Amino acid sequence: LANRPDGELPLKGLAVLVTAGPTQEPLDPVRFLTNHSTGKMGYALAEQARDLGAQVTLVSGPVALDAPYGVDVVDVTTARDMFDVVTSRFSDTEITVMAAAVGDFRPVEQAQDKIKKNGRSSIELELTSNPDILAWAGEHKRPDQTLCGFAMETRDLETNAAKKLNGKHCDMLVANNLRTPGAGFATDTNVVTMIRENREIELPIMSKEEVAGAILDEIFEIKR
Ligand code: CTP
Protein backbone atom coordinates (compact mmCIF):
# COMPACT_ATOMS: atom_id res chain seq x y z
CA LEU A 1 0.00 0.00 0.00
CA ALA A 2 2.74 2.41 0.96
CA ASN A 3 4.32 2.19 -2.50
CA ARG A 4 1.33 2.69 -4.72
CA PRO A 5 2.49 3.95 -8.08
CA ASP A 6 -0.21 6.60 -8.40
CA GLY A 7 0.97 8.20 -5.13
CA GLU A 8 -2.61 8.22 -3.93
CA LEU A 9 -3.29 7.62 -0.24
CA PRO A 10 -5.31 4.38 -0.17
CA LEU A 11 -7.08 5.00 3.14
CA LYS A 12 -7.82 8.67 2.44
CA GLY A 13 -11.07 9.81 4.04
CA LEU A 14 -11.64 6.52 5.88
CA ALA A 15 -12.26 6.53 9.63
CA VAL A 16 -10.08 3.98 11.40
CA LEU A 17 -10.47 3.04 15.06
CA VAL A 18 -7.62 1.25 16.84
CA THR A 19 -7.52 -0.05 20.41
CA ALA A 20 -4.11 -0.46 22.04
CA GLY A 21 -2.31 -1.17 25.26
CA PRO A 22 -3.37 -2.93 28.44
CA THR A 23 -6.30 -2.13 30.67
CA GLN A 24 -5.94 -1.56 34.42
CA GLU A 25 -8.59 -2.88 36.78
CA PRO A 26 -8.36 -1.22 40.21
CA LEU A 27 -8.46 -3.24 43.41
CA ASP A 28 -8.03 -0.36 45.82
CA PRO A 29 -6.55 3.17 45.53
CA VAL A 30 -2.99 1.82 45.14
CA ARG A 31 -3.32 -1.51 43.29
CA PHE A 32 -4.63 -2.81 40.01
CA LEU A 33 -4.75 -5.91 37.78
CA THR A 34 -3.12 -5.55 34.38
CA ASN A 35 -0.89 -7.34 31.82
CA HIS A 36 2.39 -6.89 29.95
CA SER A 37 1.05 -5.04 26.90
CA THR A 38 3.16 -2.00 25.92
CA GLY A 39 0.82 -0.70 23.19
CA LYS A 40 3.54 -0.82 20.51
CA MET A 41 1.56 -2.92 18.01
CA GLY A 42 -1.56 -0.75 18.28
CA TYR A 43 0.40 2.52 18.09
CA ALA A 44 2.25 1.24 14.99
CA LEU A 45 -1.13 0.44 13.39
CA ALA A 46 -2.49 3.90 14.20
CA GLU A 47 0.60 5.61 12.75
CA GLN A 48 0.62 3.52 9.57
CA ALA A 49 -3.11 4.11 9.02
CA ARG A 50 -2.53 7.86 9.48
CA ASP A 51 0.33 7.76 6.94
CA LEU A 52 -1.97 6.00 4.46
CA GLY A 53 -4.45 8.88 4.71
CA ALA A 54 -6.96 7.62 7.30
CA GLN A 55 -8.59 9.67 10.05
CA VAL A 56 -7.47 7.69 13.05
CA THR A 57 -8.88 7.37 16.55
CA LEU A 58 -6.61 5.51 18.97
CA VAL A 59 -8.28 4.28 22.15
CA SER A 60 -5.37 3.60 24.43
CA GLY A 61 -4.92 2.00 27.81
CA PRO A 62 -2.10 3.28 30.04
CA VAL A 63 1.21 3.06 28.12
CA ALA A 64 4.58 4.82 28.16
CA LEU A 65 4.43 5.84 24.47
CA ASP A 66 4.04 9.39 23.12
CA ALA A 67 0.72 10.27 21.51
CA PRO A 68 1.28 10.04 17.73
CA TYR A 69 0.80 13.35 15.87
CA GLY A 70 -2.28 13.67 13.70
CA VAL A 71 -4.13 10.93 15.59
CA ASP A 72 -7.10 11.47 17.90
CA VAL A 73 -5.95 9.70 21.08
CA VAL A 74 -8.54 8.82 23.72
CA ASP A 75 -6.92 7.64 26.96
CA VAL A 76 -8.76 5.05 29.02
CA THR A 77 -7.93 2.98 32.09
CA THR A 78 -10.38 0.11 32.53
CA ALA A 79 -12.00 -2.31 30.07
CA ARG A 80 -15.33 -0.69 30.80
CA ASP A 81 -13.92 2.76 29.90
CA MET A 82 -12.59 1.30 26.64
CA PHE A 83 -15.95 -0.35 25.95
CA ASP A 84 -17.78 2.98 26.46
CA VAL A 85 -15.50 4.87 24.05
CA VAL A 86 -15.53 2.15 21.36
CA THR A 87 -19.29 1.61 21.49
CA SER A 88 -19.96 5.37 21.20
CA ARG A 89 -17.69 5.75 18.16
CA PHE A 90 -18.05 2.43 16.36
CA SER A 91 -20.88 3.37 13.99
CA ASP A 92 -18.79 6.25 12.53
CA THR A 93 -15.89 3.92 11.74
CA GLU A 94 -15.10 2.06 8.52
CA ILE A 95 -12.15 0.02 9.78
CA THR A 96 -11.68 -1.15 13.37
CA VAL A 97 -8.58 -2.95 14.59
CA MET A 98 -8.53 -4.16 18.19
CA ALA A 99 -4.96 -4.65 19.31
CA ALA A 100 -5.59 -3.89 22.99
CA ALA A 101 -4.88 -6.54 25.61
CA VAL A 102 -8.16 -6.08 27.45
CA GLY A 103 -8.43 -7.57 30.93
CA ASP A 104 -11.05 -10.31 30.77
CA PHE A 105 -11.89 -9.93 34.48
CA ARG A 106 -12.01 -7.18 37.10
CA PRO A 107 -12.35 -7.25 40.88
CA VAL A 108 -16.00 -7.39 41.94
CA GLU A 109 -15.31 -4.75 44.56
CA GLN A 110 -13.02 -1.78 44.45
CA ALA A 111 -12.05 -0.91 48.01
CA GLN A 112 -12.32 2.79 48.87
CA ASP A 113 -9.36 2.48 51.23
CA LYS A 114 -6.12 0.58 50.88
CA ILE A 115 -6.58 -3.11 51.64
CA LYS A 116 -4.59 -3.83 54.83
CA LYS A 117 -2.93 -7.11 55.74
CA ASN A 118 -4.46 -7.16 59.21
CA GLY A 119 -2.32 -10.20 60.10
CA ARG A 120 -3.91 -12.40 57.39
CA SER A 121 -1.79 -14.99 55.57
CA SER A 122 -4.12 -15.18 52.57
CA ILE A 123 -7.05 -13.31 51.11
CA GLU A 124 -9.55 -14.14 48.39
CA LEU A 125 -10.11 -12.01 45.38
CA GLU A 126 -13.41 -12.30 43.58
CA LEU A 127 -13.39 -11.35 39.90
CA THR A 128 -16.20 -10.74 37.45
CA SER A 129 -16.04 -10.68 33.66
CA ASN A 130 -15.53 -7.50 31.66
CA PRO A 131 -17.49 -6.73 28.49
CA ASP A 132 -15.89 -8.24 25.37
CA ILE A 133 -15.40 -5.20 23.15
CA LEU A 134 -14.45 -7.12 20.02
CA ALA A 135 -17.43 -9.45 20.37
CA TRP A 136 -19.72 -6.43 20.80
CA ALA A 137 -18.30 -4.86 17.62
CA GLY A 138 -18.73 -8.16 15.73
CA GLU A 139 -22.39 -8.27 16.75
CA HIS A 140 -23.07 -4.66 15.72
CA LYS A 141 -20.98 -4.57 12.54
CA ARG A 142 -22.59 -3.38 9.30
CA PRO A 143 -21.56 -5.02 6.01
CA ASP A 144 -19.60 -1.89 5.01
CA GLN A 145 -17.47 -2.08 8.17
CA THR A 146 -14.29 -4.14 8.45
CA LEU A 147 -13.31 -5.61 11.80
CA CYS A 148 -9.94 -7.06 12.74
CA GLY A 149 -9.09 -8.63 16.09
CA PHE A 150 -5.93 -10.01 17.65
CA ALA A 151 -5.35 -13.30 19.41
CA MET A 152 -2.44 -14.02 21.65
CA GLU A 153 -2.12 -17.70 22.38
CA THR A 154 0.34 -20.01 24.07
CA ARG A 155 -0.85 -23.18 22.29
CA ASP A 156 -2.96 -24.35 19.32
CA LEU A 157 -2.61 -20.97 17.64
CA GLU A 158 -4.51 -21.64 14.41
CA THR A 159 -7.37 -23.57 16.02
CA ASN A 160 -7.91 -21.03 18.80
CA ALA A 161 -7.63 -18.09 16.43
CA ALA A 162 -10.09 -19.58 13.93
CA LYS A 163 -12.56 -20.07 16.80
CA LYS A 164 -12.20 -16.39 17.77
CA LEU A 165 -12.59 -15.28 14.13
CA ASN A 166 -15.97 -17.01 13.89
CA GLY A 167 -17.08 -16.54 17.48
CA LYS A 168 -16.48 -12.78 17.45
CA HIS A 169 -17.64 -12.26 13.81
CA CYS A 170 -14.40 -10.65 12.63
CA ASP A 171 -13.23 -10.23 9.04
CA MET A 172 -9.69 -11.02 10.08
CA LEU A 173 -7.77 -12.16 13.11
CA VAL A 174 -4.09 -11.51 13.68
CA ALA A 175 -2.71 -14.32 15.79
CA ASN A 176 0.60 -14.65 17.55
CA ASN A 177 2.10 -17.26 19.75
CA LEU A 178 3.57 -15.79 22.90
CA ARG A 179 6.14 -18.61 22.96
CA THR A 180 7.67 -17.74 19.56
CA PRO A 181 10.92 -15.78 19.92
CA GLY A 182 10.44 -12.20 18.66
CA ALA A 183 6.65 -12.30 19.11
CA GLY A 184 4.33 -10.75 21.65
CA PHE A 185 4.69 -8.09 24.31
CA ALA A 186 7.57 -5.71 24.88
CA THR A 187 9.51 -6.54 21.70
CA ASP A 188 9.94 -4.27 18.67
CA THR A 189 9.21 -7.24 16.42
CA ASN A 190 6.29 -9.56 15.99
CA VAL A 191 5.62 -12.92 14.32
CA VAL A 192 1.99 -13.21 13.28
CA THR A 193 -0.41 -15.25 11.19
CA MET A 194 -3.27 -13.35 9.55
CA ILE A 195 -6.40 -15.49 9.47
CA ARG A 196 -9.42 -14.85 7.26
CA GLU A 197 -12.26 -17.23 6.54
CA ASN A 198 -10.62 -18.97 3.60
CA ARG A 199 -7.12 -17.64 3.80
CA GLU A 200 -4.20 -17.87 6.18
CA ILE A 201 -1.02 -15.85 5.78
CA GLU A 202 1.99 -16.60 7.95
CA LEU A 203 4.35 -13.64 8.09
CA PRO A 204 8.05 -13.95 8.97
CA ILE A 205 9.54 -12.03 11.88
CA MET A 206 9.11 -8.31 11.13
CA SER A 207 9.20 -4.99 12.93
CA LYS A 208 5.84 -3.99 14.43
CA GLU A 209 5.70 -1.16 11.84
CA GLU A 210 6.06 -3.69 9.01
CA VAL A 211 3.47 -5.99 10.59
CA ALA A 212 1.10 -2.99 10.84
CA GLY A 213 1.64 -2.28 7.13
CA ALA A 214 0.92 -5.90 6.20
CA ILE A 215 -2.27 -5.93 8.30
CA LEU A 216 -3.56 -2.72 6.67
CA ASP A 217 -2.70 -4.11 3.20
CA GLU A 218 -4.81 -7.16 3.94
CA ILE A 219 -7.69 -5.07 5.34
CA PHE A 220 -7.58 -2.90 2.21
CA GLU A 221 -7.83 -6.11 0.17
CA ILE A 222 -10.94 -7.17 2.17
CA LYS A 223 -12.57 -3.77 1.65
CA ARG A 224 -12.06 -3.75 -2.13
N1 CTP B 1 -10.88 -8.25 23.43
C2 CTP B 1 -11.79 -7.24 23.66
N3 CTP B 1 -12.43 -7.17 24.87
C4 CTP B 1 -12.20 -8.09 25.83
C5 CTP B 1 -11.26 -9.12 25.60
C6 CTP B 1 -10.62 -9.17 24.39
O7 CTP B 1 -12.01 -6.42 22.77
N8 CTP B 1 -12.84 -8.00 26.98
C9 CTP B 1 -10.24 -8.34 22.10
C10 CTP B 1 -8.77 -8.06 22.08
O11 CTP B 1 -8.50 -6.70 21.82
C12 CTP B 1 -8.32 -8.94 20.92
C13 CTP B 1 -9.26 -10.12 20.96
O14 CTP B 1 -10.40 -9.66 21.68
O15 CTP B 1 -8.51 -8.28 19.69
C16 CTP B 1 -8.72 -11.39 21.56
O17 CTP B 1 -8.69 -11.36 22.93
P18 CTP B 1 -8.30 -12.63 23.80
O19 CTP B 1 -8.29 -12.21 25.21
O20 CTP B 1 -7.11 -13.30 23.25
O21 CTP B 1 -9.53 -13.56 23.51
P22 CTP B 1 -10.64 -14.10 24.45
O23 CTP B 1 -11.90 -14.07 23.67
O24 CTP B 1 -10.62 -13.39 25.74
O25 CTP B 1 -10.29 -15.62 24.61
P26 CTP B 1 -9.33 -16.37 25.66
O27 CTP B 1 -9.18 -15.50 26.86
O28 CTP B 1 -10.09 -17.61 25.89
O29 CTP B 1 -8.06 -16.60 24.92
CA dihedral 166, 169, 173, 175 (to 10 degrees): -50
Ligand 1 atom with the shortest distance to the CA of 173: 15
Is any ligand 1 atom within 6 A of the Cβ of residue 104? yes
Q: From CA 46, how far away is CA 117, in angstroms rounded?
A: 43
Helix 40-51 / helix 208-223 crossing angle, nearest 10 deg:
60
Helix 79-89 / helix 133-140 crossing angle, nearest 10 deg:
20
pLDDT of amino acid 5: 64
Within 10 angstroms of residue 91's Cβ, the number of other Cβ atoms is 10
Residue nearest atom 17 in ligand 1 by C-alpha distance = 151
Is any ligand 1 atom within 6 A of the Cβ of residue 79? yes
Is any ligand 1 atom within 6 A of the Cβ of residue 98? yes
Q: Is 35 a known active-site residue?
A: yes
How far is residue 63 from each of residues 54, 147, 167, 171, 194, measured CA to CA in Å?
23, 24, 29, 27, 25
Residue nearest atom 20 in ligand 1 by C-alpha distance = 151
Q: How confident is the model at residue 187 (pLDDT cuts 50, 70, 90)?
A: confident
**pTM of the entire predicted model:** 0.95
pLDDT of amino acid 181: 85
Task: Tell me what the pLDDT averaged over the chain comes to.
Answer: 94
Mutate to test the pocket of ligand 1, among 84, 129, 134, 155 (most ligand atoms within 8 A of CB): 134
- CA 223 to ligand 1 center in whole angstroms: 23
The pLDDT tens digits of the residues spanning 131-162 come to: 999 999 999 999 999 999 999 888 888 888 88
Q: From CA 93, how far away is CA 115, in angstroms rounded?
A: 42
Instruction: Determine contact, residues 40/210, Cβ cutoff 8 Å.
Output: no
Q: Which of 82, 222, 50, 46 is nearest to 146 (CA)?
A: 222
- CA 132 to ligand 1 center in whole angstroms: 7
Q: How confident is the model at residue 52 (pLDDT cuts 50, 70, 90)?
A: very high
- CA 78 to ligand 1 center in whole angstroms: 14
